[in-house]
Every structure is written in structure tokens, then in C-alpha cells.
A and B are shown apart, each in its own frame.
Chain A
């Protein structure tokens, strides 16, 4: 036991002199996490919007008669004078800011959207209300794809407006066919104006309340880096073979298994510490919420074991440090790609998704989603079994490989 500890400490000291562990295991992932925090700073769904919307109501001044079909109020006027102020008030009540700019001409509005003076705009052409009857009424939402928030808000305003127009029209149709009097019709119209509260949509994410794309990316990168970090312990095995220290080690009263064992334990240690630090840092940096700490800790241990076992195979099979490096990098990138560390694997044929979830990365990320949503050990048991099964398989392969190589 003492031999194990001595070799492990020697290893760790040696590796830390190379500084690669520090860099690859901690600094670079941390830097990446910090970049994420900057990138995702504004993608906070709860942050109130700030937009400048233009409206070109070309129906302004149209004689009331032309707008009889909507009860005398032209659509453009309704949008400019009623709907937009309401939206503005609502956004401001949430702490955001919404500026509405009125335009006389559509061309000016479009130019200002293109120039960036406006975030987006709505154009109500002349005769829109009258065209309702012939089924050719159309309003135009002018957006620029890059201004995603403003585009979404403005489109939503226009679409909700269109829905209300349709609802009101339907009410009038129903009222006419039933021969309702004006008062009752007016009541129906009023009720429709508030028709947002009967059925509500409660949106939730499988990743828990604060699971977001940032957490997903962070998790993907953390597990990706793990498969590099654990290599530094085990690859030393080969380094020692090449550097000629191995024969000297083995000549000393140290058993082979103790040498290998020290490497393995070293890897486990480095991998666990690195992952734990990174996951903890991700919480304040990108707002990641991983779930119950105890459950997550067990999950992290399982994936570190899986990662270490894989690198053990590489260490056993590879002949030179260079080979091992390349093989390890290759496998790390391959598994990371397949497992969804870079982008989620969900579309396409089913077998790709299944294959993805069989990889350590894929099953780890899947489990993280569940724990973020509150899952306990019982729910992620299949994932844990998969990770440990992977480790056992790798160790078996490594053992067979060592036997085949004989005692060198």
C-alpha cells in the first residue's frame, strides 16, 4: 500500500512539472467556461426585453365607412392606438423598455430597420381592413434575422393581433347567425378581448428550471476534457517504459500491479478533482444547476472510472507515448462527438441516438439532464450501470491485451 502511495506521489509530482495537467485539466476548461459565461450573458429568459419597434399605419385617416367590417375602427388604427401602447405598458411593467416609433411611409420604416435605427417594424397597408372581406388582408412584419429577440416580439405582437382580429370577426359571424343584439355582441367581443386566460401553457424543460443550453454545453465540454485529463496519469506508464525508469522500478521491491495501480488511482484522483472543480465553477459562471450534490457526485465518480478505464486500454495497447497520445485524443474526440458533447445528437435515424446514449459522454449528459430536473440515484441507475459496465469491459480488454503481450 505504501509503495502505491509513493509511486503515485512521484507520478503526480512529475506530471505537475509538465504543467499540462494544470492547463488541460483546469485552466483551459475554466477559460472555456468563462467564455461561455460571456456568450450566454444575455440569454436569460427572465431578462426583460428592450426593443424599438416602428409602426407604419397607412390606414390612418381612412374614412370610417371603409372600416365598417371591423365595426368602424380601422385595423391600422387599432394596432397603433390600442395594441402597441398596451404592449409597451406591459413590457415596461416587467422592467423592460419598449419604444414605439410612428412612421408615415413603409419605405422609411424598412430603411430604418435595415440601418438598425429600429429593431423591427409593422406595416399596415392602405385598405387592409376593407380587404378583410375578400380574404386578401395582410400586414407586414419587417425584421432582420440577426435581431432575434426583437423579431420574435414583433412577430408575436402581429400574430396575436391577427388572432384577435379573427376572433372578433368570428364573434360577429356567430352573433349574426344567431341574431344576437348589439349589446350581447359587444359582450362577446369584450370577453374575447380577454381570451387569454382560459387555457394557459406551462412551459418546462427536461433539464430542470434553470437547465439551459449553457448548462448543456458546459456539461458536454467538462466531460470532453475529462477524457483528456485522466490520460496524464496512465500514460506515464508508457513514459516510464520509454524513459527506462520502468525496469528500474520493477527491479525494486515493487510489484507490477502496484505500479499500474498507482497510475490508475492517480488518474481517478485527478479526473475527479478536475471535474468537480469545473462543475462547481460552472454554477456561478453559466448558471448551471446540476441537481442533488450527492447524486451528481456519484455520477461524476462513475464517469471518471469509465474514463480512466478507457485510457488504461490505450496505455496497455499503445507502444509509444506518441501513439498513446494520438489514440487517446482520437478516442476522446470520437466519443465526445458521438456522445453529444459538441452538439446534441437527437435527430436522424434512431440507431444514431441509441449509439450516442451508449457512449460514456452520452449517458453522462443524459443523466445530468435528469438530475438537473431533480432525479435521484434510482432514476439514473441505468446510466450508472452503463458507465460501470463500460469500465468493466475496458478493464477486461486491457487485461486480455496485457496477457497477450506477455510479460515484457
Chain B
């Protein structure tokens, strides 16, 4: 780096860090992110909790069987409190087995209804997948039990015990899930919302806060700092590179903090370190380019604030940082690729989910690098017009 450009970088850093806001966003904010992202999307997701309300022996039998399912923790809650427990986030799902369950079964009633309650935010998908097979088996137990009751004149409890014994002896047909070319798939690898949540939020916030730094670009124009920089032996290009480099460094630093912190403290997985760093760096470059362009185009700080929040969030939503890319309609998945988020998402998905390395994501890195270069070139041209 030539001396003048280094000086520009230095000036930009100084101006950035004279603003208390920058201190907050670079040093304090990432820790909040680490805490929230880590606790919500932390590596080993704690088994989801499910509240079960059971008020008679047969219902309790069902509750016990649910409690034996691997991967879910069952807590006993009175029927009237189940919904609140779900809504408040205390449990991920709730099952209310109606009072008089046993009597209903004994009397041969059809369609005894169990109420399964979840939140609208998708946290109930995993509990549902874990629990529904057992609930379906309940039907079988009851049918076999009923049959045994009528044949052997047993009461329902004893008949169900015999049914359970028979089911225990019966051979099981295992179902293996595989992905072509890769062998066994994790049973829940389709739950995009959970396993890539940390990455989605990282992309959203690195981009958002990078865009917010565009305010400084507008400011330095308003305060004629850039004019004065140009008065020194540095080219317009040098000024742009200097301003951009400083912001780039800040964005990468933030991202590194978040990645490192969530990994260290919460066990969030980021895959191959070199690959995930490379993706972060190129993504941060795109964010910086966008910020420079925004700063060049904006006329007032209000405008830039509005634009950075709006564009930042819209790009994040389009690019799969709110609703996972996999869950979007096919057409929208294609459209999503106008955002850097979508490309970074794909790259991270390959690295985190499939354990790929840098080589495998070179295409995505290439696209992101191109985006960064294009944005920086355009931003540079616009800014130069203002400066010169």
C-alpha cells in the first residue's frame, strides 16, 4: 500500500472510531450477537422440551412412552397451562391428552382427539417429527388391545400390556434416509431453519452494519474531508481504496468476532475455517462495495440511514437470511441470487452442512468477488464525480 493510501486508511479509521456508535457496533454489538445467536442456534441443540398434560393412568402411559423418545424432553404440565408454556417459549410444543382418555378408549369411541400445540415460528417442526410416530403407534396398540379385550375378555389395561408385549416382539422394519452420493443423511437435515440459523444472522448483520457505515461517506463529503484528502498527494482512487479498506477491515473483524465467539462459547459449527473465513471476507467486500456506492449516491444522512436499513433488510430477506433459501419457492430461489446473501448462503451451506472446503465453493466466491469489484467500481465512479 502506498503511503498516501495508508494515510487515508488511517484517517478513515480515526474518524470512524471517534464516533461512539462505531465503538458500540464493532466491539459491543458483536458480543450481544454472539450471546443471542449462540444461545438460539448453538451447536448442540438441546433436546426440545414438550409439555404433556395427562390426567388418567392410560394417558400417563402414553406420556411415559413419549418420554422415552430419544431427542425430546417431556415435562408434565397441567392441561390449563400448556398453551401458555408453549407461547412463552418455555417448551417447544405441547400435547394435551383429554381428561377421561381412558374411558373414551374403553367405550370404543373413535377419533379421540389429542391437542398438539406449537408456536407459529417453526420451532414445533422438530418435536412434531419426533413425536408423531409414537402417537401413530398408539392407534395400533389400542386396536390390538381392543381385539385382545374382546377375544380374551381382559380389561383395557391388561389388554394394552399384552399388545405392548406383542409389539415388542414384532420384528421392526428400519427406515434409513440417505442422500445420493453421500450415504446416510441426518434424519433432520431438511430442517434448514435450525442448522444454518447462525450463518443466516451473521450475513444479515454484517451486511446491515457495513451499509450503516455508509453514513460516514456522506458525512465526509458534507464536511469536505474528502476534498482535503484529495488536496494531498493521493489520487481519487486512492481515497476510495483507503475509505473502503478501513470499512472492509471493520466488517471482517466484526464477522470474525461473531464466528469465533459463537464457536468458542456455544459450539456453533462453521465448518472448515479457511473456507468460512474466505466466504466472510468476500461477503464483507461486497458489503463494503455496497456501502461505498450508497454513500456516494446518498445526499443526506437521513436518506442513507433509511436506505441502509431498508436495503439491508430487503436483501437479507430476498437472499435467504430470514426464510431459509431452501424453503423458498423455486422461482424466488433464482431471484434470490441477485443478492450476495444467497451466494454466501450456498457457500456456507456446503461448508457447514456438507463439510466442503474452499475449492468446492470457488464458484460462489468468484461470483461474490465479482459483485464486490463491480460495486466498488461503480461506487468509485460516482464518488469521483462528486469529488472532482
Contact = CB atoms under 8 A, between A and B. Distances in A.
Contacts of B306: 20, 23-24, 28, 228
A408 interface: no
B170 A169 contact: yes
Contact of A370 (B87, B90, B353): B87
A161 B36 CA distance: 41
B42 A142 contact: no
B370 interface: no
Contacts of A284: none
Contact of B323 (A113, A163, A213): A213
A216 B135 contact: no
B197 interface: yes
B366 interface: no
A41 interface: yes
B120 A142 contact: no
A152 B125 CA distance: 11
Interface size for chain B: under 10, 10 to 19, 20 to 34, or 35 or more residues? 35 or more
Contacts of A204: 115-118
A154 to B, nearest CB: 9
A228 B307 CA distance: 12
A18 B300 contact: yes
B115 A344 contact: no
B144 A141 contact: no
A346 B178 contact: no
Contacts of B40: 343-348
Tell me which of B38, B215, B302 has the highest count of chain A C-beta atoms within 10 A of its own C-beta. B302
Contacts of A148: 190, 192, 326-327
A148 to B, nearest CB: 5
B180 A199 contact: no
A110 B180 contact: yes
A206 interface: yes
Interface string B166-188: 11011111111111110001000
Contacts of B90: 353
Given A170-B144, A205-B120, A347-B45, A199 B135 contact: yes
Given A155-B177, A163-B136, A200-B114, A330 B25 contact: yes
B317 A39 contact: yes
Interface string A319-348: 001110111011001100110001111111
Given A178-B152, A198-B105, A24 B310 contact: yes
Nearest to B311: A28
Contacts of B113: 199-202
Given A198-B110, A199-B112, A346-B40, A138 B151 contact: no
A170 B137 CA distance: 12
Contacts of B178: 110, 140-143
A192 interface: yes
Contacts of B318: 35, 39
The secondary-structure label for the interface of chain B is: helix
A24 B46 CA distance: 39
B181 A32 contact: no
Contacts of B197: 343
B17 interface: no
B97 to A, nearest CB: 9
Contacts of A114: 180-181
Interface residues of A, number: 115
Interface stretch (A128-136, A249-257, A263-271): A128-136
B19 interface: yes
A372 to B, nearest CB: 8
A215 B19 CA distance: 37
A75 B173 contact: yes
A1 interface: no
B220 interface: no
A344 B119 contact: yes
A140 B176 CA distance: 5
B99 interface: no
The 3 closest A-B pairs by CB, nearest first: A348-B39, A28-B310, A346-B89
27 contacts: A24-B306, A39-B318, A39-B329, A114-B180, A139-B175, A140-B175, A143-B190, A145-B189, A155-B175, A161-B173, A167-B143, A170-B163, A170-B167, A180-B151, A196-B139, A199-B111, A199-B113, A202-B114, A205-B117, A206-B120, A213-B122, A217-B322, A326-B20, A344-B119, A344-B121, A345-B36, A347-B39
Given A199-B112, A202-B113, A329-B212, 11 more contacts: A36-B323, A128-B173, A132-B173, A138-B176, A145-B185, A155-B177, A166-B172, A170-B167, A191-B143, A201-B114, A207-B120
Interface of A: 18-20, 23-24, 27-29, 31-32, 35-36, 38-43, 69, 75, 110-111, 113-114, 128, 132-133, 135, 137-146, 148, 151-152, 155, 158-163, 165-167, 169-174, 177-178, 180, 184, 187-188, 191-192, 195-207, 211-213, 215-217, 221, 225, 228, 232, 321-323, 325-327, 329-330, 333-334, 337-338, 342-349, 352-353, 357, 366, 369-370, 372
